[in-house]
Amino acid sequence: MELVLFDLDNTLLAGDSDFEWAQYLISRGVLDKEVYEARNQTFFDQYKAGTLDIFEFLDFQLKPLARHSREQLDAWHKEFMASRVQPMMAPEARALVNRHLEEGAVVAIVTATNSFVTYPIARAFGIPHLIATVPAQEGGAFTGKPRGTPAFKDGKIERVEAWLESLGLCWSSFERSWFYSDSHNDLPLLGKVTNPVAVDPDDTLRIHATSRGWPVISLRG
C-alpha cells in the first residue's frame, strides 16, 4: 500500500486558491479593494519568503467567512470554482492524481488553505481525503477563527499523523509515501515521506531538491 499526499496551491493548481479567493471577493465588492488587495499581496509575499505568521494570516482570511451566511458563501464559491479554480486545474495534474488513484494508493491533499475553500477543489480532482486548516464554526456559522493546528509547515506533519491515526494507520503502514509540493514551506513534510517530489518549485525548494537528488517535475504542460 502506498500513501500519496499533494500540496494544493501552485502544485496541483497552477495558482493559489487562497490568494484567488480573496481576489474574487474583492472583485465582487465583498471586500474593500484598497484595504484587502494590498494586505492579500503582502501575505502572499510573506508566504513565498517563508516569513508568514500563519495566525495573523488566518485572522485576515477567515474573518470574511463570519460576516456572511453559509448559503451566500456557497453561492460565491460555486462561481469562484468556475471562474478562478477550473482554469488552474491543468490536465497534467489531473492525470497524475488519476494515476495514483488507479494504482490503489491512499490519496490526500494537505494544504494550509482552509477547508471551506479547498473541499470543493479536492472533490473536483476526485481526491477522497482533505487535510486542511479548519475554520471554526458555531451553530453552522463560521466564527472567523481556526480550529486546531493549522496545516502549515510542521503542522502538516501533525495533521497528517492525526488523520492516519483516525484511519488506524501510521507511516509504517505504507511501503512507500509520496508528497508533491512547490514550496520550501513544505520541507518538513517533504523530509518525512520516502518519495518527496518538487513540483514547479520555488528557488529555495529547487536548490534543496537538486542537492538531495529529489525528482523535480512540472505539471504546467
Distance CA 124, CA 214 (A): 28
List the grid coordinates of 161. Answer: 499523523
Task: Assess whether 9 carries a catalytic annotation.
Answer: yes
**Among 8, 5, 4, CA closest to 182:** 8
Catalytic residue flag (residue 18): no
Which residue of the set 7, 182, 186, 202 is catalytic? 7
Q: Choose, from 9, 18, 182, 202, the residue flagged as catalytic.
A: 9
What is this structure's pTM?
0.95
As a whole number of angstroms, the distance between CA 200 and CA 217 comes to: 6
- CATH for 118: 3.40.50.1000
Using 70 as the pLDDT threshold, list the residues of the chain that sit under it: none
pLDDT of residue 73: 96
Residue 111 φ/ψ, nearest 5 degrees:
-140, 145
Q: Which structural domain, as residue segments, surrounds residue 7?
A: 2-217
Res 59: pLDDT: 87
Residue 44, pLDDT score: 86
The Cβ-side half-sphere exposure at 134, using a 13 Å CA radius, reads 11
Task: Tell me how many domains the chain contains.
Answer: 1
d(CA 174, CA 177): 7
How many C-alpha atoms does 169 have within 13 Å on its Cβ side?
14
